[in-house]
């Protein structure tokens, strides 16, 4: 697997180049740039620049799940942009990236009440959005070693109590109609982190 800390814009796009059209690659590059700009001067608890998080969520899709769906990659790159910046309205995002991305970001944008937020995810019928959500959760868990112990434990408990039942329901609902491999992989990787 590529060391995700060393992936810059050029290497990120080079990874995708064999798998997406030139037009889609340009749109993904626009989302990459927008995310980087929208999260400028924002930092994670550990001190890393915030943009590393959405970039690494996209890299979970690309490197680990072998998902090259341009709209899912764009959703991964922009999944925190609405709650963390005022850079674009839904109308502007729709014009740039399309209706599926805007609808997906509507589900992915967190609210203050975690239980209501997860409950909203149960209503989502786009499995691509669900996969992005759990790639996000996986990266947050993997990246929690250096955060305050109480916050880390709260994140782990939320995952066990709220997110894993949603993930299990999604795996069950896809078994007869779609390949649940991505969700099964994410469940296994999340369980690994929780077991530490």
Residues 54-81: tens digit of each pLDDT:
999 999 999 999 999 999 999 999 999 9
Task: Report pLDDT for 176.
Answer: 56
CATH code where residue 111 lies:
1.10.3210.10
pTM above 0.95, yes or no: no
Q: How many domains does the chain have?
A: 1
Q: Tell me the C-alpha distance between 73 and 171, whole Å.
A: 21
Segments in the chain forming alpha helices (H)? 9-16, 22-38, 52-59, 70-78, 81-84, 90-97, 99-108, 114-121, 127-142, 149-158, 164-174, 181-194
Which residue in this structure is represented by tokens 């609210």? 111
What's the domain range around 184? 4-194
Task: Report pLDDT for 48.
Answer: 84
Which residue in this structure is represented by tokens 């880390």? 152
């Amino acid at each position: 697997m590529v060391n995700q800390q060393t992936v810059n814009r050029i290497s990120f796009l080079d990874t995708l180049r064999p798998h997406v059209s030139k037009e889609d690659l340009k749109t993904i590059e626009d989302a990459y740039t927008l995310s980087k700009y929208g999260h400028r001067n924002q930092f994670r608890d550990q001190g890393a620049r915030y943009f590393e998080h959405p970039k690494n969520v996209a890299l979970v899709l690309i490197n680990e799940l072998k998902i090259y769906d341009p709209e899912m990659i764009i959703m991964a790159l922009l999944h925190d942009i609405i709650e963390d910046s005022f850079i674009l309205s839904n109308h502007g995002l729709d014009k740039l990236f399309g209706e599926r991305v805007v609808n997906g970001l509507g589900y992915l944008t967190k609210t203050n009440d975690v239980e209501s937020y997860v409950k909203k995810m149960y209503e989502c019928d786009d499995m691509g959005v669900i996969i992005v959500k759990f790639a996000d959760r996986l990266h947050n868990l993997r990246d929690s070693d250096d955060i305050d112990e109480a916050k880390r434990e709260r994140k782990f408990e939320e995952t066990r109590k709220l997110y894993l039942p949603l993930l299990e329901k999604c795996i069950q609902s896809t078994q007869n109609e779609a390949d649940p491999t991505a969700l099964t992989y994410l469940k296994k990787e999340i369980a690994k982190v929780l077991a530490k």
